[in-house]
Amino acid sequence: MESENQTGVAEFLLLGLSEDPEQQPLLCGVFLSLYLVTVLGNLLIIVAVGSDSRLHAPMYFFLSNLSLVDICFTSTIVPKMLVNIQTKNKAITYAGCLTQIYFFMFFMCMDNLLLTAMAYDCYVAICQPLTYAAVMSPGLCGLLVLVSLVISLMNALLHSLMVLHLSFCSDLKIPHFFCDLAQILKLACSDTLINNILMYLVTILLGIGPLSGIIFSYTRIVSSILRIPSAGGKYKAFSTCGSHLSVVLLFYGTCVGVYLSSAASLSPRRRAVASVMYTVVTPMMNPFIYSLRNRDIQGALRKFIPRTGSFS
């Protein structure tokens, strides 16, 4: 195939989850519903945390930031997918694809780092309760979010700039519902060795590194909980971090599942379907996990949701 310089690439084609015309209305309805639930659920968490003084604590500060990131993360992908289905046009411009890669990498990294910061917060709360207020000061919480923001910006910018130097073949069909970096690299005609090395190196540093920190934190947390003599004390201590642990398992479980499916001999379309879990389902589930297990959030949400008994 003849290659062309990236400046000559007008657009890519996002093949989506299915090319069957009869399935498009169903896909549109399902993803529109998931998107609206995600935005509404996470917005309620943000409003609840901001409006209730009982929730002005480090854990909820990180949670509100996580909810904001989840809204932006899903909004990077789903609206464009819905527009393509409705207009029956699979095209996405070169600039649009590059922009989607940038924000996808940014919010994905932010999600990862915020979960790590929340794990540290749980560790201090359970293992060092007497010094919790002094250690988890507003200044440190703000610094952790700021550092996460800077690292995520640099990571996204680095990958985006590396893609700018690639030239592409005439076949610009992406077997996915968004501009996935790995799929973009497969379409390039120029040498992608450095891009692939960078991608795997960053995955190790910003994926395995924070995950190791989370595992270490929860190892210490579990060890501390087991030393509590009363069953009631153990339950109270575990409930402090139970919601966060559930979110961590959901986020990393789906990401690892997609990674393993990519390593296996699965078709690109099946890998795209697997990606729905961490790009759409996980951001939607986070508000439910936190609201169903946390009485403080339930109380704050009652101010905005009619008393239907859902949170009783």
User: 298 to each of 34, 48, 308, 309, how far by Cα in Å?
Assistant: 22, 9, 12, 11
- Cβ within 8 Å of residue 208, ≥6 positions away: none
2, pLDDT greater than 70: no
CA–CA separation, 22 vs 309, rounded Å? 39
3-class secondary structure, 92: strand
pLDDT greater at residue 4 or residue 227: 227
3-class secondary structure, 182: helix
CA–CA separation, 98 vs 101, rounded Å? 5
pLDDT interval class at 30 (50, 70, 90): very high
pLDDT greater at residue 309 or residue 41: 41
Please report the pLDDT score of residue 9 as a whole number: 66
Please report the pLDDT score of residue 142 as a whole number: 95
Phi-psi region of 263 (alpha: psi -120 to 50; beta: other; left: phi over 0): alpha
Residues of the chain above pLDDT 70, percent? 89
Length of the chain: 312
42, pLDDT greater than 90: yes
Please report the pLDDT score of residue 144 as a whole number: 96
Q: What is the pTM for the complete model shown?
A: 0.87
The residue ranges of every structural domain in the chain are 3-301
Starting at the edge strand found earlier in the chain, the sheet holding 91-93 runs 91-93, 11-14, 173-174
Please report the pLDDT score of residue 35 as a whole number: 95
Please report the pLDDT score of residue 267 as a whole number: 67
pLDDT interval class at 102 (50, 70, 90): very high
pLDDT in tens, 285-297: 888 888 766 777 7
CA–CA separation, 28 vs 80, rounded Å? 11
Q: Which CATH number fits domain 3-301: 3.40.1280.10, 1.20.1070.10, 3.40.50.300, 1.10.10.10?
A: 1.20.1070.10
pLDDT in tens, 228-263: 787 777 777 777 777 888 888 888 887 777 666 555
299, pLDDT greater than 80: no
Our CA angle for 138, 142, 145, nearest 5°, is: 145
Tokens describing residue 305: 């949701």
pLDDT greater at residue 2 or residue 110: 110
pLDDT in tens, 136-188: 999 999 999 999 999 999 999 999 998 988 888 777 888 888 998 888 888 88
In whole angstroms, how large is the CA radius of gyration of the chain? 21
Our CA angle for 220, 224, 227, nearest 5°, is: 145
pLDDT greater at residue 31 or residue 18: 31
Please report the pLDDT score of residue 306 as a whole number: 57
Question: Taking residues 37-48, what's their average pLDDT?
Answer: 92
Please report the pLDDT score of residue 263 as a whole number: 56
Average pLDDT over the chain, rounded to whole? Answer: 84
Proportion of the chain in helix, strand, coil states, percent, rounded to 5: 80, 5, 20
Please report the pLDDT score of residue 250 as a whole number: 83
pLDDT in tens, 115-129: 999 999 999 988 888
Question: Could you tell me which residues are beta bridge partners of residue 92?
Answer: 12
